[in-house]
Every structure is written in C-alpha cells, then in structure tokens.
A and B are shown apart, each in its own frame.
Chain A
Amino acid sequence: MKRLLVLRPFAIAILLVLLWIAAGSWAWVDPLVLPPLPSVLRAYAGGRMDGELWSGLAASLWRLISGALAGTAFGLAIGAAMGFSRAVEAVVAPSFHGFRQIALFAWIPLLTAWLGADDAAKISFVALATMKPVAMAAFEGIRSVPDHYLDVGRALCFSRWRTLRQIVLPAALPSLAPGIQLGLIHGWMATIGAEYLLGSFAPGIGSYVVEGRERLAMDQVFAGVILIAFVGLVLNFALRALSARAMAWKGQG
C-alpha cells in the first residue's frame, strides 16, 4: 500500500482518464462533446485520418524549427546589440519596448496581408514570437555581466573572442537560457495559433484540429489537442533539462 503513494502526483490524471473511460462506456455524456477514449486513440493509429495527423505534426514541427531558429538568431542579434552598445540601446530600446506592448496575435492580419496565408506568413509569425523573449533575455543577460568579471578579462589581456566565450557567455547564460526556453514555448504557441487562424488548407497539426471541428469530428479535435499539449510539455521539459546543464557551473560557486 505504501508503495502506491508514489503514484500520488499522477492521481488526478489517472482519475480523469478512468472517468473518461467510464463516461464513454456507459454513455454518460454526448459523444459529440466527449468522444470515448478508444475512438480518440484510434485517431493516432488505424483511423481514417491518422496519416494526416502525423504528417500534420511533421509540418508544424518544421514551421516551429525554422521559425524559432530565425527568431532566436534575430533576437540574439538585437539583444546583443542593445546589450553591448549604449548607443544602440538608446536608439532601439524605446521602439522595441513599444513594439513589445502589442499582443502577439495582433500581427496576424497584417502579416497575412503582406505575405499571404502560406508558410512564409506562418514561419515569420513564429520567428516574431520567438524573437521577443530571446531579445529581452540576451539584453538582460549581457547587462547583468558584472563589471569586475570584465575587469579580470581586461587584466588578463583576453582577446574579444575569449572575453565573449569565457566571461560574457557563461555569465549571461542564467538569463539567456530561460529566455530561449520561453521563446520556443511562444514559438510553439504561435505555430498552433497561426494554423488555427489561417485555415485548414496547408497540412499542420493545428489545421488538423480546425478541420476536425468543421467536420464535427470530436475524436479528431481531441486527438489533435492532446498531441499539441503533449509536444508543448516535451519541449518545455527538454529545454529545462538543457538549460539546467548549461548552468551547472553556477552550482559550484
């Protein structure tokens, strides 16, 4: 009995799944609102749409990766420029903070008007979503490098590259790593949001869900939403593990 207590953190989740199975097998709820668990599981393998589901997921992940890479690069560049140079900060920072005030999804109508509803618009949107937190984190990370660390580098006549690699980067990482993590989470949210909003013509896990809703195929909606949530959780978990490794040096000091 004692050993079962290990399961406590999962208790609520297990209970919900059991309730779901029970609700399905005794038809407590309209299957149009809550489809039975087996029919949702069939959507992942052997259903009529499972091919669409997995190719959609691949398409979405591709958008996330290309958008997040571009956004991270761009964000690092802006953040670093503002962090290293007071002049750049004075010119760019007020505009950047103003731009940051605009809720992310407000850009969708303008982006689609300029770039169409295809991958160009979606990937740019993901890049935009990733860029904001990464730029902030890079800026704050570089600013938080204590002056006396840099003085040590100067005293030891470090080259610019060596200062960057051995002083600035490790000192900025505690701020940078969570920023990149947040950027990727925002990127995933943007990928899904863009697919929800821009219709179901191109493959994507978000389009799969929207299409399921239009056909009133609730099992399809459930399967898609659960997969989206799952991918988000895995991303979050993996990135947290990575950033913990990147900051291992802090534990020793």
Chain B
Amino acid sequence: MATIVSIAGALPRRQERVAGASWWRRRGVGLLLPAAILLLWTVAAQQAWMPATVLPSPALVARSFVDLVASGELIAHLAVSLRRVAIAFVIGTAIGLAIGVALGSSRTVDTWFGPFFRTFAQIPSLTWIPLLMMALGIGETLKIVVLAKACLVPVAITTAGAIREVSIEYLEVGRILRLSRLSTFAKILFPATFPAVFSGLRQGLSGVWTALIVVEMMASANGLGYLMSWARMLFQLDIVMVAIVTVGLIGFGLDLVLKTIDLRLQGWRA
C-alpha cells in the first residue's frame, strides 16, 4: 500500500500541469465576477431599479471616496482606528505571550489555570462589551480592553501549544551542551516556537480588526466603525460603502504586513 501511495504522490497532478501556463488567464478570469457585479450595479443604478439612497451608483461611491480622502476625513478616522489597533495589539500580545509561556512551560500553572483560561477564551470578546461599558464607561479604556482581549486569546493559546510541542530531544541537546537559560531560549525555544506563535499573532491582529469595528459602532465618536454607523444613520450609503472597502483593504494590508515579516524572519527554515 505504501508504495502505491508514494507512486501516486509522485505523479504530476492535473492541477500542476495546468498551473504554469495559464497564470495570466486565471487572474483575468478572476476579474470576471467583480466586473459583472460592477456592471450590474452600474446598470441598476442608472435604470433606477432601486432608489438612489438605497443603491448609490458606483460613480458616486468613487467620488465620495475621493472627497473623503481629499478632505482628510477618512484618514483622520482611520488614524484613530489604527492607533487603537496598535496600542491594543502591543498590550494584548505582551499579556498573551506571558500567559502562553506560563501555561506552556509549567504543568502546575496549566492544571490550575489552563481549563479556566481555555473556557474563558471561547467566549467572543464582543459578548463582554455591554458589561465593560458599565464598568469602564465608553472612553478609550473600554476599546483598548476589548481589543487587547481579542488579541491575547489566540496569542496565548498558540504560544502555550507551541512550547508544549517543542521536542524533548532539542531540549536535551541544549542540556548536553550546557546552554544557559538565555541561550536555550534564544537558540532552541525561540526558533522552534516562532512559526506557531507568529500565526497566533496574525490571528490576534485579525481578531482585533474585527472587534474594532463592533466596539466603534457600539461606543465611539470617531474611528472607521463610527464613520459607518454615522453615515448609515444619515442614510449616506455611499460613505458606508467607502468605509466597507476601506475596512477590507486595511484588514488585508495589516495581515500582509505580518505575513511579510513572518516570511522574512523564517528565512532560516529554507
């Protein structure tokens, strides 16, 4: 059986044979659907199938986008949001790493504290928002706490898991070489856990971004989420759509930054 499997694995698959030649064709094909939607949207807006307040035309959305960028309004809201993300990401990562290291490296901590933390971790951050609003008010603290919690959970869980997965042999080599604690960490633990921890950071950042929109919609007077709910209240759907696109682009950009750093730092594996 094993040989059959390995032979089957060695045969070129259909997908691989096709992939090389038609990269451009595939990319072009991928644009078909957005183009079709854009066309349908334009026609629908032009023929006024729906009132313009409900479905603003693509041209209007594009114009609003340019206006909002030119007036600095979009940038200002975005700056506020990104500042919150940055602060919460740093705090959440620090606490998450600390919890993860404690849970991962000590059996005692894990038996006493682990089940509680893992249960708590399953509860989505947004559940706590009304409660925290009562306790902390609706100021900056509330947002940072909610966002930091969204970040620390995946960071802690991936870190704890990664540390536990480090193979005993690696650590034994370190002991044989009489490495100091610091070099054991720098030479063995850090490289071995890094990929998993970094994927936790990426999950954390994307969690922060999702939570940001909710908390800014519920309790804020600035930021992207606020801009959306404010525009929705005035029924300016063109601005809502501009904000949605911005949310998508920034979310993609944030992940891309971490992905690039990840690939750079993991050069040693190649």
Contacts and interface: CB of A to CB of B under 8 A. Distances in A.
Nearest to A94: B30
Given A98-B248, A109-B228, A232-B122, A93 B30 contact: yes
Contacts of B228: 106, 108-109
Contacts of A13: 116, 119
Contacts of A153: none
Interface in A63-122: 86, 90-95, 98-99, 101-110, 112-114
B252 A229 contact: no
B206 to A, nearest CB: 8
A12 B218 contact: no
B232 interface: yes
A236 B122 contact: yes
B124 A113 contact: no
A2 interface: no
A22 interface: no
Contact of B130 (A106, A151, A189, A221): A221
B69 interface: no
A145 interface: no
Interface residues of B, number: 60
Interface stretch (A3-11, A50-58, A241-249): A3-11
B232 A32 contact: no
A21 B259 CA distance: 47
A90 B8 contact: no
Nearest to A106: B247
A233 B119 contact: yes
A102 B131 contact: no
A19 to B, nearest CB: 13
A90 B29 contact: yes
Q: Is the interface of B mostly helix, strand, loop or mixed?
A: helix
B257 interface: no
Contact of A101 (B18, B31, B252): B252
Interface stretch (B70-78, B170-178, B234-242, B260-268): B234-242
A103 B213 contact: yes
Given A103-B251, A104-B210, A108-B217, A95 B30 contact: yes
A209 B130 contact: yes
Interface in B1-45: 4-5, 8-9, 13, 15, 18, 26-27, 29-34, 37
Interface in A2-59: 8-13, 32-33
Contacts of B122: 185, 232-233, 236
Nearest to B230: A109
Contacts of A221: 130-131, 134
A229 B127 contact: yes
A107 B244 contact: yes
Nearest to A197: B217
A188 B126 CA distance: 11
Interface string A184-203: 01001100110011000000
B209 A103 contact: yes
Contact of A105 (B18, B29, B115, B210): B210
Interface of B: 4-5, 8-9, 13, 15, 18, 26-27, 29-34, 37, 54, 111-116, 119, 122-124, 126-131, 133-135, 209-210, 212-214, 217-218, 225, 228-229, 231-232, 235, 237, 240-241, 243-244, 247-249, 251-252, 255
